[in-house]
Amino acid sequence: MDRSESGRMLSAVMASRYDHSPRDVWDSRIRSGELLLNGQSLQNDVPVGSRDVVQWRRPPWLEPAIPDQWSVVYDDGDVLVINKPSGLPVMPGGGFLQHTLSALLMEASRSAGASQVPKPVHRLGRFTSGLQVCARRPQTRAGLSRQFRPEGGCRKTYLAWANPVKGLRADQPLVVTTDVVERVHPLLGWVWGPDPFDGEPLRRRLHARSELRLLKRCDQGDLVEVAISTGRPHQIRIHLAQLGSPLLGDPLYLPQQRINAAAVPGDGGYRLHAHTLVLENGLHLSCVAGSGFAPGELLLAGSQEL
């Protein structure tokens, strides 16, 4: 403990140092025996001295269950492309560490005695399914990563189920070039979203470009093919929300360019699938969306192939 903290209650010190948890949560942890003071377990909150040593025996993190099976679309011994299932995080974050694609690939490679582990080149959102590119050699990952940057040369298309997009026709693609912007969010501080155009405080903005083509129209939604070249955070979700037609089931991006203050980008419910990919070397890859991708209740209500 620092000298300035001497005499303060332990719960107050911990809440001040680690503000992800309020004081009452730290008090509960103390009473449950999670914190040690000079090697002794505590049962009640106590004042601390400048020479005291505090340890937190954090309980094991319980990660949510995930889908851990996928199909291989392409593998040349270096580049690996899989059809990632919806619900599988690519990298650690948002409460996930071991239940991620990167961790599962490492575990599978070690079990197989492989000398090199495939590592993700880019990151699909947890609930976005489809083509996820990985590579075993660092040089290959670096080269592919450049292709996925806004100035890169790869071409990507996605399939998305969205609320009806006003004015979108099958014979006339719609190009969206509005910026994605960082907006205030009560849980995260800032979050990427559509431009509200109402004077709301913004921190940053990034140019983005999406091209939409209507594939199918149902009574309550549209199946849209989206080609992107810029690859900004949550770009497709944001651009459709910018048009007033968020993805069906999207918990974060709402109509009228609103953002749900109780949701975060990692929450699921939407349907988005990385469908095709063309790399600079001419390699053309595609994969089919899983059976749970189409909103069956909407299709039964009536649909029109376009």
For 76-119, how does the pLDDT look when each residue is reduced to its tens digit (9 = 90+)?
A: 999 999 999 999 999 998 788 889 999 999 999 999 999 999 99
pLDDT at 118: 97
H/E stretch holding 120 = strand 119-120
Contacts of 267 (CB under 8 A, 6+ apart): 251, 252
Which H helix or E strand runs over 147? Answer: helix 138-148
What pLDDT is stored for residue 197 in this prediction?
Answer: 84
Give, in degrees to the nearest 5, the angle at Cα 158 between 210 and 246.
65
Amino acid 298: pLDDT? 46
Which residue is associated with the tokens 């999406």? 210
- Residue 229 corresponds to which tokens in the numbers above? 């070249």
The domains of the chain, with CATH numbers, are 3-56 (3.10.290.10), 61-148 (3.30.2350.10), 150-306 (3.30.2350.10)
Asked if 84 and 67 touch (Cβ cutoff 8 Å), the reply is no
- Asked if 205 and 181 count as a contact pair (C-beta separation under 8 A), the reply is yes
pLDDT < 70 positions in the chain: 296-306
- For residue 216, the model assigns a pLDDT of 94
Identify whether the C-beta of residue 152 lies closer than 8 Å to the C-beta of residue 228: no
Spatial CB neighbours of 206, under 8 Å, sequence gap ≥ 6: 179, 180, 181, 230, 232
Count of CB atoms situated within 10 Å of the CB of 129? 28
- Residues 276, 288 contacting (CB under 8 angstroms): no
300 φ/ψ angles, rounded to the nearest 5 degrees: -65, -25
224, 215 Cβ separation under 8 angstroms: yes
> Hey, what are 94's tokens?
């948002």
Q: How far apart are CA 239 and CA 251, in angstroms?
A: 15
229 DSSP assignment: S
pLDDT of residue 189: 94
The structure tokens listed for 301 are: 């209500």
